[in-house]
Amino acid sequence: MRRVVFNQKGGVGKSTIACNLAAIAAVRGKRTLLIDLDPQANASRYLLGEALDEQQKTLANFFEDILGYKLFPETLESFVVPTRFSNLAVLPSDARLEEVQSKLESRYKMYKLREALEKLRTFDEIFVDTPPALNFFTRSALIAADTCLIPFDCDDFSRRALYSLLDSVREIRADHNRGLRVEGIVVNHYQARARLPLRLVDELRAEGLPILDTFLSASIKIRESHHESMPMVYLEPRHKLTEEFAALYDLLSG
């Protein structure tokens, strides 16, 4: 299973959701890989911590090889970095991804990630974190994916961005990846006592949008999780938010 977590709006929790779902999968005994396609490398930092600074090879090197910078390019698996957590590995990002993006796009290399992942047999589940933009890396991820998961922050700006996002996913499915499926929209930073989130969710459901039943609560604990470079299932296994991530994973896996 290759699952992309995507929203072209920033600040909606893509990296947090991707990493925490990957961690749940790993704890459940799945050999799990997180691919970080965002040059900001937040997901890489979340899972690797300070060890990210020691990495000599990242996805930037993989894409440089695609451009022909290396006579004998390495396989994608050679760029995989194990984390300190059992069953969980990461293909880390770094800022150099931005430097190669325009060259990759001009040479129409959008199918290379899918080709590389089809040869990668080591993992049971793959989660892909994407940049907050519909760019080369996001398109590559959607072309390579089985499913797409869309985080949604409960505000009007996020709602307006949602319609454009769904149109983009439909276009990529029609033109490049007939098997791509939208698994659903994940309501994130949910505050049950606030009126606006509940109203927005009800309105989106009334429009027929695939809002998932499991919501992710707003919690200050997630900031501690980021600071410690430790997804919630490792930091606080019995926390309410951890249970919500586990319920979301079970919903998607069921």
4: β partners: 128, 148
Instruction: Identify the CATH class of 2-253.
Output: alpha beta
> Which three-class secondary structure state does DSSP give residue 127?
strand
Q: Domain spans of the chain?
A: 2-253
Structure tokens at 182: 């939208």
Between the two ends of the chain, the Cα-to-Cα distance in Å is: 13
Q: What is the DSSP letter of 217?
A: B
Structure tokens at 200: 């927005």
Give pLDDT, residue 82: 97
Amino acid residing at 229:
S
Amino acid residing at 67:
L
80 phi and psi angles, rounded to 5 deg:
-75, 135
Give pLDDT, residue 156: 74
152: β partners: 187
Give pLDDT, residue 76: 92
pTM (2 d.p.):
0.95
Series of mean pLDDT values for 10-residue runs along the chain (254 residues) = 92 94 98 97 97 92 84 85 98 94 91 94 96 94 97 82 91 96 93 80 91 93 96 97 98 91
Give pLDDT, residue 70: 63
